[in-house]
Structure 1
Amino acid sequence: MEPLIRELTDADRDANHRLGADAFGYAADRQPSALPPVGGAVLGAFVGDELTAKIRARDDRIHLPGNRTMEMFGVEGVAVHPEARGGGLLSPLFRAGFDRARRLGQPISILFPTAAGIYRRFGYELVGSLEQREIAVSALAKVKAPQGISLRRATNDDLGELRRLYAAWAAERLGPLTRVRPSAPILSGDYLASPASVTLAIDTTGEIVGSVRWTRGTGYDPATSIIEVEDLIGRTSDATRALWRFLGTFDSVSGRVNVELPSGDESLTALPAEPAPAVKEHRYMLALVDIPAALAARRGLPGLTAQLPFGVTGGFAEDVDGHYVLEVSGDELRCSRGSSGVGPTFHARGLAALYGGAQRCAGLRAGGLLDGPADHDALWDALFNVPAQVRDYF
């Protein structure tokens, strides 16, 4: 029997909760959530009258290099009834999700997988991770305090400045959420709510150039006391060092800091020694839903004019497979459908990996995700050489 695919309404609240509890092990006292969720929708697959599988579509916006932003289809809450797993129910759900994304002008999709292999058949590829590290507070105490940076505790009056700080930090990066959508108003009053605290780094002109959100934890025995850090942002190297050094001032009462940062985050280079490997990570994947729109949203290379014909195969979203031409005119990119024949062919996963800065063309060729003429590989690498950095798990 073909499943019925539709958006869930509040009449489906209890069924949605039961399916989620099977998949994610909700606590017994957790209450069913209202539907539809703010800033998105839940798509359900019904076999007969039973809700048997679902995905939550998160409508959000991400930053792109060059102070640009783009709409995004975030996927979370993927669940299949235990007795129906392996029955192919995710395929019509993702097809419906991609169709919805195209209608809403969302050229890319991002998700955090529990198992990457499940999602590769839908065109997703791994492009990075959000990593948790444990750093000894005694190591942070060795960071040399920079000159010209003062610190103070943030208040609700600083929320506007915190938003501007974050937007300025994210302006040249690929992937951070804008943090202003209804689906995740992260830089709101809750950001400063107890037990969390936010400390600001301020330069000699009075400008806020960095911030760290931290939770002190309990006790004062360095062997057991832990400081949780969810957000460390430095616009300058001095601000970053000042914030690390601030955390190091707890060395007599706290033994370690648990900090969550994107893979490759530059703030780790300010530490006096190489940090230990991540103890936990949330890997994330990217898929291209609308290739012309996704590529045209990116920035070109000043002074470069080029035409790059290419093909795409192995895609899942409608109209992804086919032939294209990417036109580079300085800072601007334009992508349109092209004729067959002359350029390389990317697997949809390979183009997603390149777009997310996770692989160069040589690696894609070695992995079987790119073949055909290699004349323009260096240009493709140069155009998409910014690694994805996602700070917010969903």
Structure 2
Amino acid sequence: MRVRELTVDDNVAYRSLSAGAFGGGFEAVESRPFSAGETAIGIGSEQLPGGAPGVVAAGARIRHDRITLGGGVVDCGGISGLAVHPAHRGDGLFRELITATIARCAQEQLPMSMLYPSHPAIYRRAGYQVVASVQRLLVPIVDLQHLPKMPDRRLVPVTGASMPRLHGLYRELTAEDNGMLTREGPLFPAGLPSGGWSALLLEDHDGIAHGYVSWTRTAGENGGAGLEVHEILGRTREDRLALLRSLGSWSTVTESVVLRVRTEDPVLDVLPGSGARPVDGLPLVMMRVIDTAAAFEARRAPAGLAGAVRLVVEDDTVPEGTCRSAGSWLLSAADGRVAASPDEGSAPEDGSIPGDTGVPDAASSPGGEAAEVLGTARWDIHAAGLLLMGGRTLADARRLGLSAIADPAAEQFLDALLAGPRPSVLDAF
């Protein structure tokens, strides 16, 4: 494989490639390191027929992020800036690079991988599955102006000194979500974000934070909204109403705001009026399982759920050994924990789930005691990506045309284990 890690000497060439592929300019200043918390890989043009030295023929960056998953947290490789030089397109470099990217995620122990596709089909062929969309609403400010004032609440500006409080509140209020980045360093600096970002904390009179709203003031060209609201997070319904009410004060300078929301966002339940409408375009979020066992063990089991199933995951989208997505495991849950141990039994070669699969009567639970094995399930890699991110049943996966079959008891167990909110992602890269 010709893919290698990009170095400081490749930085200018890679930024030129990325700017040419995705638009926007860049300053061709002296070479500098890639961002901390990222791994850059690529293929040098000089290795290829007709290539030239000093040119990156294909490249990508892997972010070392962490995302919420089933009440726990899992490391995730965020893929960005994957591009192929126009001179080398059509020569199979994309496939070579995306396979190497998946292998690098496995090497760096990132059990999940995330990306925002411009063309989902080409990433789906590499095992990525659409799990969510980034949702934005255009909200008339007139709908927010007459919300009642909430007692025992006040708004205070967010400063560099209070950013740790905001970060802590963000992690607390999104801990039970699926797919949300934990926003830790070095990819997320501790200080105030740049680019005109502003925020208000919502406090009670004892100074305890109950929520916040963040935004960026924009020009609002061509009649568009002049305020991009990144997120509204509050502990209670009343807190979210108070934060929405604060946006009504912008009526003197703009008529509407663009509000970014999570899937099934609690803010939608308190949004007044009927004037909100979706903003054109719903950027998709795709996820891929890199290490099935590690992804399961990052989750928490629901209280009271106990038992075990045999799970077979099939992945024919990348060469065998690229990552640790495919295999057979004894998956067990007990005392709020999940364990996935390699299954020494053999899976039926025809892909069926027969009544007697040879599954042992018991498997070792997370606490070490025996757990009853309820049955067998078999997924393809796309069903694994969809289901492991939570909020979907095996029946949902089948309705999408994915392969997710199971014995009835195993299906019931897995649906209970993977229940929760559908994935949401509020960060873009």
Instruction: Answer yes or no: same fold by TM over 0.5.
Output: yes
1:146-184 Cα offsets, whole Å, 9 max, x none, are 222111222222122112111111221222212122123
- Determine which structure has more spread, i.e. the larger CA radius of gyration: 2
Counterpart check, 1:320 vs 2:321: no
Q: Hey, what does 2:289 align to over in structure 1?
A: 288
Question: CA–CA distance in 2 between the matches of 1:355 and 1:260?
Answer: 24
Secondary structure of the structure 2 residue equivalent to 1:254: coil
Match of 2:409, SS state, is coil
2:229 is matched with: 229
Deviation at 1:194, TM superposition (A): 7.0
Match of 2:150 among 135, 146, 163: 146
Conservation of the 8 A alpha-carbon contact between 1:126 and 1:358: no
Equivalent residue number for residue 18 of structure 1? 16
Per the alignment, do residues 24 and 231 of structure 1 end up closer, same or farther by CA in structure 2, a change over 3 Å counting?
Answer: same
Q: Matched residues, percent identical?
A: 29
Q: Please state if 1:379 is matched with 2:413.
A: yes
Partner SS, residue 156 of structure 1: coil
1: CA distance, partners of 2:87 / 2:406: 43
Q: Which amino acid aligns with 1:393?
A: A
Q: Which deviates the most, 307-316 or 272-281? A: 272-281
Q: State the distance in 2 between where 1:114 and 1:276 align.
A: 23
Superposition pairs of residues 328-347 of structure 1, within 5 angstroms: 328-338=333-343, 339=345, 340-341=347-348, 342=357, 343-347=376-380
Q: Which of residues 392, 407, 420 is equivalent to 1:359?
A: 392
**How many pairs align?**
386
| Distance (Å, rounded) in 1 between the aligned partners of 2:100 and 2:402 | 28
Q: Structure 2: how far apart are the matches of 1:58 and 1:28?
A: 20
**Secondary structure, counterpart of 2:162 in structure 1:** helix
Q: 1:149 to 1:88 in 2, by over 3 A?
A: same
Q: State the alpha-carbon separation in 2 of the partners of residues 224 and 111 from structure 1.
A: 27
The letter of the residue matching 1:337 is P
CA 1:31/1:284 → structure 2, altered by over 3 Å: closer, same or farther?
farther
Gap regions ≥5 residues in structure 1: none
Q: 1:134 corresponds to which residue?
A: 138
TM-score (norm 1): 0.90
Change (3 A) 1:36 1:330: same
Q: 2:426 pairs with 388, 391, 394, which one?
A: 391
Counterpart amino acid of 1:307? A
How much has 1:225 moved relative to structure 2? 6.4
| Counterpart for residue 265 of structure 1 | 265
Which stretch has the larger CA shift, 168-177 or 275-284? 275-284
Cα distance between partner residues in 1 of 2:21 and 2:248: 40
C-alpha contact (below 8 Å) 2:12/2:28 kept by paired residues: no
Give, in whole Å, the separation in 2 of the partners of 1:225 and 1:113.
25
**2:60 paired with 1:58:** no
Cα distance, 1:38 vs. partner?
1.6
- Contact residue 57 and residue 73 of structure 1 kept, 8 A: yes
Q: Judge conservation of contact 1:174–1:388 (CA < 8 Å) in 2.
A: yes
Flag the 1:289–1:133 CA change in 2: closer, same or farther, 3 A: same
- Give the C-alpha shift of residue 32 in structure 1: 7.4
Contact kept? 2:9, 2:32, Cα under 8 Å: no
Give the equivalent residue in structure 2 for 1:4: 2
- Superposition RMSD on alpha carbons, in Å? 2.4
Match in the other structure for 1:370: 404
Structure-to-structure mapping, 1:229-248, within 5 angstroms: 229-248=229-248
Query: Which residue does 2:370 correspond to in 1?
Result: none
Kindly provide the amino acid, as one letter, of the partner of residue 57 in structure 2: T
Distance 2:99 2:225 in 1: 47
- The aligned amino acid for 1:388 is P
1:14-47 Cα shifts (integer Å, max 9, x gaps):
3212321221122265757733332111110234
For residue 177 of structure 1, what is the aligned residue in structure 2?
A: 181
